[in-house]
Amino acid sequence: MGSTEKGVDATNGLTVDISVALKANDPKSVPGLSVEIASAGSSLDDRDYNARQSLLRKARALVTALETPRETMIKHNWAENCPQKVQDIATALEIDPELLSRLMRHISAMGYIKEVGPDEYESTNFSRALTIPIIGDGYPCIMGGCFAAIGHLPAYLKTTNFVMPNSATNGCYQSAYSTKMNFFQYLQAHQPWGTQFNHHMGGYRQGRPAWMDPDFYPVQDRLINGADMAGNAPFLVDIGGNVGHDLAEFLSKHPSTPGRLILQDLPVVIGQIQEGSIDMRIERMEYDFHTEQPVKHARAYYMHSVLHDWPDEVCTSILAQVTAAMKPEYSKLLINENVIPPTQANWQTTGLDMMMLSLFASKERTEVDWRRLLEGAGLKIVKIWGHGEGVESLIECELA
């Protein structure tokens, strides 16, 4: 048996034989998981988000237990490496029919379209959904503007002797794409990735509980009550709010909200908002959150998936611009981000954490991480509002 068919466990120095890769990962757990899945599945209400997530976790655990390491490797490298859209008619796009047949056969085998006969397929909800920009545009954006950095991460970490990356301007992303730009600058400079990313952010949280829902965060009690009711008073400022997805949803669910709703982002992003795509009540404001916050004494400043894009040092600078604008005992800072639990982290969160490591030299944060960062910036956490597994929390803060 050659050296290419053996490995060495770095934790104990023992040789790892190829037979390890040809056996199920954890066959002993299969009977128990099967019973749990059968029990949970028989009474599942698909409207119950947490129950569905719990069942999904068990189902994935069963797949992992049954798969051999070799099968997992093949899945990662051959089956899931490059998802693509499939057009209906090869001749309309001047594609070789034999080539299209091979592509569709594989996509069907993966379950993304349905085979109904030889070279005859039906679309599925998934393939139909790819025609929606906020669903389909994530694929070319992530594949083109992200995956080179993700694949480069092991080699990059080796060059740094596996020291934790912490530079927003000189990290794995810059190394992979040979650029001095940060992730956002690079995507916007290499269209259509920038526009596709904006769409992807719109689809990212579709179907997940929203913080402004009545069973998540009590908007009336915590924000509207006690707010300045003057028409020109700033009520909610969405900092780095992309093209307005969150404010539009907030307004649709709380139409009688007092005061001004202000969307802030870079000029290149604000300029991509199409007329009529968001409510006229939402003010568009070009703003760089590394600079002084121009809107003073708002009832709430809001950041959704902003701070996870930056190392702690940069986050502290961003937060300083917010705290300087806040009114003591009145203003709140609402941070809509993941709070990783001490154990049993959800795969969506850990997967995103690997993206942050590769693209930004940043991270998804634990509660300990959040308290250290926010308290160091002159804020106090009033409460962390959660809504179950894999759902971003809402961290409610005030000036310390």
Examine the residue annotation and report whether 364 is marked as an active-site residue of this protein: yes
Which domain range does residue 116 map to?
86-129
150/37 same-domain check? no
153/169 same-domain check? yes
* Phi–psi pair at 90, nearest 5 degrees: -60, -40
Percent of the chain with pLDDT over 90: 56
Examine the residue annotation and report whether 71 is marked as an active-site residue of this protein: no
Using the CB atoms, write b or e for 2-13: b if 16+ within 10 Å. Answer: eeeeeeeeeeee
- Give the residue from 49, 64, 81 where a domain finishes: 81
Question: How large is the average pLDDT for residues 202-217?
Answer: 84
| pLDDT for residue 2 is more than 90 | no
Examine the residue annotation and report whether 337 is marked as an active-site residue of this protein: yes
**Quick check: is 66 in a domain?**
yes
Q: What is the pLDDT of residue 26?
A: 85
- Give the residue from 108, 129, 150 where a domain finishes: 129
**Quick check: is 141 in a domain?**
yes
Q: Considering 71, 115, 337, 367, which one is annotated as catalytic?
A: 337
250/387 same-domain check? yes
Evaluate the omega torsion of the peptide bond into residue 140 and state whether it is cis, within 30 degrees of 0.
no
CB 298 within 8 A of CB 361: no
| pLDDT for residue 284 is more than 90 | yes
Q: What is the pLDDT of residue 276?
A: 82
52/119 same-domain check? no
Evaluate the omega torsion of the peptide bond into residue 192 and state whether it is cis, within 30 degrees of 0.
yes
Q: Considering 200, 245, 254, 308, which one is annotated as catalytic?
A: 308
- Give the residue from 72, 103, 129 where a domain finishes: 129
Question: How large is the average pLDDT for residues 130-135?
Answer: 80
253/335 same-domain check? yes
CB 235 within 8 A of CB 261: yes
For residue range 24-70, list pLDDT tens digits in order: 878 888 999 999 999 988 888 888 888 888 898 899 889 888 887 66
User: Domain total for the chain?
Assistant: 4
**Quick check: is 211 in a domain?**
no
**Quick check: is 298 in a domain?**
yes
- Strand boundaries in 290-378, DSSP class E: 300-304, 332-337, 339-340, 365-366
| pLDDT for residue 384 is more than 90 | yes
For residue range 152-168, list pLDDT tens digits in order: 999 999 999 999 998 98
236/293 same-domain check? yes
Residue type, 163: V
Tokens representing residue 260 in the block = 């001004």
191/227 same-domain check? no
Q: Considering 200, 254, 364, 396, which one is annotated as catalytic?
A: 364
Q: What is the pLDDT of residue 84?
A: 38
239/383 same-domain check? yes
List C-alpha distances in Å: 60 to 52, 55, 157.
12, 9, 29
* Helical spans, DSSP H, in 279-360: 312-323, 347-359
Q: What is the pLDDT of residue 336?
A: 97
**Quick check: is 60 in a domain?**
yes
**Quick check: is 17 in a domain?**
no
**Quick check: is 214 in a domain?**
no
| pLDDT for residue 79 is more than 50 | no
Question: How large is the average pLDDT for residues 264-278?
Answer: 90
* Angle between helix 147-159 and 138-145 (nearest 10): 30
114/166 same-domain check? no
CB 384 within 8 A of CB 367: yes
297/276 same-domain check? yes
More confident residue, 228 or 132: 228
122/146 same-domain check? no
DSSP state of 169: S
235/379 same-domain check? yes
**Quick check: is 352 in a domain?**
yes
